[in-house]
Structure 1
Amino acid sequence: MSVPNPLRNFAKKANTYPTWLRQRMLTWMFRYKVKLTGTVSIDILETDLKSVTFRQKNYKKAQNHIGSVHAAAMALLAESSTGFVVGVNLPGDKLPLIKEMNFKYVKRAQGDMHAVAHLTDEQIALMQTQEKGEVTVAVKVTDAQGIEPVLCEMIWAWVPKSRK
């Protein structure tokens, strides 16, 4: 990467600490930057900077009328996890922007939700060398039973932070 990325540097440093502290540091930082994730208490469980696992506990504040995680909270979970993995892999002078989100709710969710998002080596190389571009980020959202109640497609773009 040509320009240092503060988010990547923070995540790399956090990954040197024990799991309990790493999770708290990453979660605190992300909730501080993305306020809505703090409102519904989304957690970052782990990252190797190519992939990330987020969790949405089935808290009352994130529930729908039938007591499961709300569809909008599932969308936030998928968007946040993909945004994080894109954000840590862009050079510091690039701005990530969500371009497209497609959701197909196929089953009823039960319990806590997890989202695992990841990028390929080719996608990361593209993000680090292209001035502008877009990638489709793979994300899998599962419930407490391991069922995938929502099928997601997330397309992220990036542009220079400052206009020329």
Structure 2
Amino acid sequence: MEQQKNSMCRMVDKTAALPGGLRSWAITKLFGNFVPFLGTAGLRFDEVSRERMVVSIRNRKKVQNHIKGLHAAAMALLAETATGFVVGMNVPDDKLMLLKSMKVEYLKRAQGDMKAVATLDRAQVGRMATEEKGDVLVDVVVTDESGESPIRCEMVWAWVPKKRN
């Protein structure tokens, strides 16, 4: 049985006919309507599905730290955004999703642009569709231009009914 699509999935589906680069731009603009800060930071949605979300950020002056690398807060935002939107693609419209906990370990200096890849497995997706409320640890890997992971993250997202009984 296929899971019911929520409003975010239906919105992404409307971009399916667009060419790759234009589709990424359109989805980035649409998701920026949900969270305006994404545009300020310059995050870009490179791949979007219910099981995998790839979000990237360019190392440019606006998001740099004092040593010309990506600011620590920008790196955390990248991981939080990728995990949050992959959960958002799965949580039914009658549920509210919330970041329950966020742990970021800074392991080494980042090199250049960065990307975060957040993934969910079928069991996690199924739980969001069937459980009234719950939480999930979302797997996320953040890499820089060298292919290394300058940070390690643990992001736990929860979902609860929008209306309280």
Deviates more, 1:7-16 or 1:144-153: 7-16
Q: Does 1:37 align with 2:31?
A: no
2:119 is aligned with 1:122:
no
Aligned AA (2:38): T
SS at match of 1:163: coil
- 1:62 alignment counterpart: 63
1:81-102, Cα deviation, whole Å (9 max, x unpaired): 1000000111111111000000
TM-score (norm. length: structure 1): 0.95
Aligned to 1:80: 81
Pairwise CA distance, 1:116: 0.3
Query: Residue type of the partner of 1:92?
Result: D
CA distance in 2, matches of 1:79, 1:91: 20
Q: Mark the runs of 5 or more structure 1 residues left unpaired by the alignment.
A: none
Q: Secondary structure at the match of 1:107?
A: coil
Partner of 1:144: 145
Instruction: Return the offset for 1:29.
Output: 1.0
**What amino acid sits opposite 2:138 in the alignment?**
V
Structure 1's consecutive aligned runs of 4 or more residues displaced over 3 angstroms after TM superposition are none
Per the alignment, in what secondary structure is the counterpart of residue 62 of structure 2? helix
Whether 2:53 is the aligned partner of 1:52: answer yes
Q: What is the CA distance between 1:15 and its match in structure 2? A: 3.0
Q: For residue 64 of structure 2, what is the amino acid of its counterpart?
A: Q
TM-superposed CA distance for 1:77, in Å, is: 0.5
Aligned to 1:112: 113
Displacement, 1:51? Answer: 0.3
| Structure 2, unaligned runs of 5 or more | none
Q: CA deviation at 1:35?
A: 1.4
With structure 2 as the length reference, what TM-score do the two structures score?
A: 0.95
| AA of the residue aligned to 2:27 | L
Percentage of pairs with the same residue: 48
What do the CA deviations read for 1:71-122 (whole angstroms, capped 9, x no partner)? 0000000000100000011111111100000011001001001000010000
**Aligned alpha-carbon RMSD (Å):** 1.1
Q: Kindly state the Cα deviation for residue 47 of structure 1 after the two structures are TM-superposed.
A: 1.6
Deviation at 1:16, TM superposition (A): 3.5
* Count of residues in correspondence between the two structures: 163
